[in-house]
Amino acid sequence: MLFLAGAIGFTACQNVIDEPTLSCPEMVFTYTTEGKTTPLNLSSSLLFRAETDSGGQKYVSIEAISDSMKVILNLFDGMYVDSLLANDSIKLKTYTFSRKTKEQGGLVMVGTRLPGYDYHFPDTDSSSITITRINTKRKTITGYYYYTAGGNMVKGQGTFQNTCYTSLSR
């Protein structure tokens, strides 16, 4: 009987998907590929800064999940002088990534979950993240993204609206 109770307790504590860690009730986050749109839940979202000798850069990292996939958006913006580095605003523009040209401003990674395994992330060929609005008072960010991988054979796009973020101060 003790063995059975231990086995039940062990399996009850396991979690096969990442649980959303942020409450963001007005958020809408989607991923579309091959005509199918998947709604995603926010797992983490950070805006942080890195200082250098000549100013600093701002980074945004957003992770959204479903039971079968994970989308990660990473962008960096800058150089900022010290007085502008402290606030949360970033430029409303398109940030791009290209493996071919080594452009590094807006990386999108999309992973699929294989049954019984973790996520598999193919190498991103190119991607873009367009920021259309950032509300520094409510700490939300809105925009859309595009992604290709696998020799440009896999393509997808999505939107994120009113996505909450946590700002890490310097």
The string of pLDDT tens digits covering residues 83-105 is: 788 888 889 999 999 999 988 89
Q: What is the pLDDT of residues 115-133, one digit of tens each?
A: 888 889 999 999 999 999 9
**Which pLDDT belongs to residue 11?**
40
pLDDT attached to residue 94: 97
pLDDT of residue 169: 74
The pLDDT value recorded for residue 23 is: 72
Q: What is the CA radius of gyration of the chain?
A: 18
Single pTM value for the model: 0.83
Range of the domain at 55: 18-167
- The per-residue pLDDT for 70 is 95
Beta-carbon contacts of 58 under 8 Å, excluding residues fewer than 6 positions away, are: 47, 48, 49, 76, 77, 78, 80, 85, 90
Residue 55 lies in a domain: yes
Is residue 95 domain-resident?
A: yes
* 11 domain-assigned: no
Pairing type for strands 154-164 and 124-135 reads unpaired
Task: Assess if residue 8 is contained within a domain.
Answer: no
How high is the pLDDT of residue 22? Answer: 62
**Residue at 12 is within a domain:** no
- Transcribe the chain into DSSP letters: -HHHHHHHHHHHH--SSPPP-S--TT-EEEEEETTEEEE-EEEEEEEEEEEETTEEEEEEEEEEE-SSEEEEEEEEEEEE-HHHHSS----SSEEEEETTTTEESEEEEEEEEPTTS-EE-PPEEEEEEEEEEEETTTTEEEEEEEEEETTTTEEEEEEEEEEE-EEPP-
Overall domain count for the chain: 1
Residue 41 resides in a domain: yes
Segments of the chain with pLDDT less than 50: 1-20
